[in-house]
Amino acid sequence: MLRSPEMSEGLLNLYNYFRWKTALPQPLVELAILTTAREWSVQFEWFAHYPIALKAGLSPALLADLRVGKRPDGMTPEQAAVYDFSTELCRKHVISDATFQKTKSLVGEKNMVDLTSLVGTYISIGRLLNVAEVKTAAKDGPDYLPALQR
């Protein structure tokens, strides 16, 4: 990002919006970020956001399932909608009518627009981190993101 400061400024403005200004509840923001990190195997995003997600109120059990590529058990309806929306967007690059309607009814239209852009922003940040091969000190444990066997 240092190589393209003008692009980075725009991306950081989006990051700051999602960190401090979105009306999407913080636990849902963190769930979307970590779901995107898992889908795109972005170790640094997982490492950075895992403690933030815990502090925001996501359970260690939910994050443990997500970490290994399993759809988490025991999610609230809003969490399930955010998880489904985020994974569908990452995997299929579109959202089905059913997922669209469910998410809209649970989080609202503005928050759904924010969720869409949040996932896209973290895909962009994740690609930059992975292309630059940004590593973490984590080698094991819940803040380490293992490779998925698909």
CA 142 to chain centre: 16
The pLDDT value recorded for residue 15 is 87
Is pLDDT of 19 > 90? no
Q: What is the mean pLDDT of residues 2-15?
A: 84
The pLDDT tens digits for 80-129 are 999 999 999 999 999 999 999 999 999 999 999 999 999 999 999 999 99
* 56/14: higher pLDDT: 56
- Which residues lie closer than 8 Å to 45 by C-beta, 6 or more apart? 33, 34, 36, 37, 122, 125, 126, 129
The pLDDT value recorded for residue 97 is 97
Side chain identity at residue 148, one-letter code: L
The pLDDT value recorded for residue 104 is 97
Is pLDDT of 132 > 90? no
- Which residues lie closer than 8 Å to 42 by C-beta, 6 or more apart? 36, 122, 125, 126, 129, 130, 145
- For 11, the token pair is 């991306």
The pLDDT tens digits for 42-83 are 999 999 999 999 999 999 999 999 999 999 999 999 999 999
The pLDDT value recorded for residue 146 is 86
Side chain identity at residue 136, one-letter code: T
Is pLDDT of 140 > 80? yes
- Which residues lie closer than 8 Å to 17 by C-beta, 6 or more apart? none
The pLDDT value recorded for residue 34 is 98
Q: What is the mean pLDDT of residues 25-52?
A: 96
The pLDDT value recorded for residue 150 is 61
* 136/109: higher pLDDT: 109
